[in-house]
């Protein structure tokens, strides 16, 4: 049976604001350095069409993933402060706190989360996911979207409490992706809209590589028998974004 029926849908249709200019991108590169993809190079690789609206509308330069499992497993509380501006000398406008409650076989107890209205938010066993769209970086702070409907953004100070990933890094780490419209975005033999169509059915794809606004994919072992050599060798290309929006949905959990 198709995996899509069993996955938590992490389907992004958002509308935000993002990175301003190349100087900001260089600042991100200098600060994040060896831990992440060179964003200036990535911008060159990914810009097949004008994608300025993509980064300035909803989606930004990547994702910020909260990493709180270690704190909770050690019996500690997880705290994260959110600021109106990239300046920690001011008082935080919001404070998020996560604790492990041993009652009823244990669960994550959340305090101060009412301001968070995002798609990639699951605080329920076995999935503890809080992933923000990241719009930019300044003075040691990341700007993240905390309310996708109102486009509200706040700033969080760089720390080991979260991880930043570019969109390419993030999509490669997902369980799988699928097209929003198979009719308008079928799987093709090459990263070209005029290339031969090789697959026109609903499928959850494993992300392999990127070329401009295209991603190279293969079958998921949940949808196809990977012991069959033909399935194992199959490769195709689908578009993952256009000038201003995502063309795929992605799955973070079974």
**What confidence tens digit (pLDDT) does each residue in 29-73 have?**
443 433 333 333 333 333 334 455 666 666 888 999 998 776 676
The pTM (predicted TM-score) of the whole model is 0.75
Rounded percentage of the chain residues whose pLDDT exceeds 70: 73
In DSSP terms, 177 is beta-bridged to 205, 250
Short-list 131, 173, 145, 136, CA closest to 58? 145
Residues 97-108 have pLDDT tens digits of 998 887 766 778
Q: 10-19, 47-56, 162-171: which has the minimum mean pLDDT?
A: 10-19
Q: What is the mean pLDDT of the chain?
A: 79
Helix axes 22-32, 39-46, angle to 10 degrees: 130
Region 107-114 average pLDDT:
88
Q: How far is CA 58 from the centre of its chain?
A: 12
Distance CA 182, CA 180 (A): 7
Domains of the chain with bracketed CATH: 3-167 (no CATH), 176-251 (2.30.30)
CA dihedral 102, 108, 114, 115 (to 10 degrees): 140
């Amino acid at each position: 049976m198709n995996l899509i029926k069993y996955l938590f849908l992490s389907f992004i249709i958002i509308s935000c604001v993002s990175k301003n200019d190349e100087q900001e991108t260089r600042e991100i590169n200098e600060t994040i350095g060896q831990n992440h993809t060179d964003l200036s190079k990535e911008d060159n690789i990914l810009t097949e069409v004008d994608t300025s609206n993509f980064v300035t509308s909803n989606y930004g330069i990547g994702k910020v993933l909260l990493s709180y499992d270690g704190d909770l497993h050690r019996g500690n509380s997880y705290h994260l402060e959110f600021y109106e501006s990239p300046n920690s000398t001011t008082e935080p406008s919001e404070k998020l706190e996560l604790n492990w409650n041993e009652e009823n076989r244990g669960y994550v107890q959340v305090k101060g989360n009412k301001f968070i209205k995002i798609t990639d938010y699951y605080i329920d066993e076995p999935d503890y996911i809080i992933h923000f769209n990241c719009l930019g970086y300044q003075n040691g702070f990341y700007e993240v979207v905390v309310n996708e409907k109102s486009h509200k953004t706040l700033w969080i100070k760089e720390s080991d409490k979260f991880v930043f990933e570019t969109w390419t890094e993030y999509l490669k780490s997902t369980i799988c992706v699928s097209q929003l419209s198979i009719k308008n975005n079928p799987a093709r033999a090459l990263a070209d809209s005029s290339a031969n169509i090789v697959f026109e059915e609903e499928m959850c794809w494993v992300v392999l590589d990127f070329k401009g606004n295209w991603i190279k994919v293969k079958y998921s072992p949940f949808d196809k028998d990977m012991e069959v050599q033909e399935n194992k060798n199959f490769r195709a290309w689908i578009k993952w974004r256009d000038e201003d929006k995502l063309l795929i949905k992605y799955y973070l959990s079974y």
